[in-house]
Chains A and B, each alone.
Chain A
């Protein structure tokens, strides 16, 4: 994702999943959630994802990366 082929589409950079709860996403247009994300950590950062969605952001999520968390219940 950091190679030029992909990075030019991801101007907001990447977020390390364990640091998601402490990362303000609301300035971004969207957040891509790949598959095979750690369910517990994703749940821990759900508030940030919900804030982004409430701010009008777009969140494409791979099915297997979504876990069982609270943010998925809005999907």
Chain B
């Protein structure tokens, strides 16, 4: 039996509106959930990255056990191994937002560049910048200026990390994306094939610990104190 794929949920929508293709884990239960029950974890753009930073060891353990973590958004906290903070395109422009290269890869099979660049005729949803790529990672999509919009990192941990600048790749379900509608199903298939996690591979962390790996990488802001969650938008 294939392990389910989980989406870290921010409890902002009614249950009826959620797609059923993934399980839901409340983001604030990450420290007490056995993540190795899941083949892959999908972290949406609006996730509270401060919370993720406080549980970065649990995420690191999950990855070292062979798990897959997908993040689409703007990284601004140090919780994802090997990753660096989002770099926005400056100045923003249609020319800069254009998708220029798509690698041969199961996630993007049959997907046209313009269907990534434009959504209902508007550019910028797919990527409004990039995350610097770790050494040894594989770039899947580049923007017109050569910026890596999407990469896969199998080097930084024992598992696999997929980073997408700005958007949630599952969000391409529906009629607005043209050939990009292929992405959600292809992504889920790839995640199931990519995952090597086995439930007994790693000890379970249950403590809601403060980050034990300090945010030492250059460019990562320290935690700060209107009512907020710390998302990348």
Contact = CB atoms under 8 A, between A and B. Distances in A.
Interface of A: 1-2, 10, 13-20, 31-34, 36-41, 64-65
Given A38-B28, A41-B28, A15 B227 contact: yes
17 contacts: A10-B226, A14-B224, A14-B227, A15-B225, A16-B50, A16-B229, A16-B230, A17-B227, A18-B51, A19-B225, A33-B227, A34-B228, A36-B46, A38-B10, A38-B12, A40-B26, A64-B12
Contacts of B227: 14-15, 17, 20, 31-34, 37
The 5 A-B pairs at the shortest CB distance, nearest first, are namely A32-B226, A36-B12, A38-B11, A39-B11, A14-B228
A36 B228 CA distance: 10
A53 B48 CA distance: 27
A74 B160 CA distance: 47
Nearest to B224: A2
Nearest to A49: B227
Interface of B: 10-12, 26-28, 46, 48, 50-51, 224-230
Contacts of B224: 2, 14
Contact of A1 (B48, B50, B51, B228): B228
B30 to A, nearest CB: 12
Name which of A2, A13, A36 has the most chain B CB atoms within 10 A of its CB. A36
A38 B51 CA distance: 12
B3 to A, nearest CB: 26
Contact of A39 (B12, B46, B51): B12
A9 B42 CA distance: 35
Contacts of A37: 12, 227, 229
Contacts of A34: 226-228
Contacts of A33: 226-227
Name which of B11, B48, B50, B227 has the most chain A CB atoms within 10 A of its CB. B227
Nearest to B14: A68
Nearest to A61: B227
A64 B51 CA distance: 21
A33 B226 CA distance: 7
Nearest to B231: A36
Contacts of B10: 36, 38
A40 B229 CA distance: 13
A16 B228 contact: yes
Contacts of A17: 48, 227-229
Nearest to B27: A38
Contacts of A14: 224-228
Given A13-B225, A14-B225, A16-B50, A40 B28 contact: yes
Given A19-B225, A40-B26, 14 more contacts: A10-B226, A14-B224, A16-B228, A16-B229, A16-B230, A18-B51, A33-B226, A34-B227, A37-B12, A38-B10, A38-B27, A38-B229, A39-B12, A41-B11
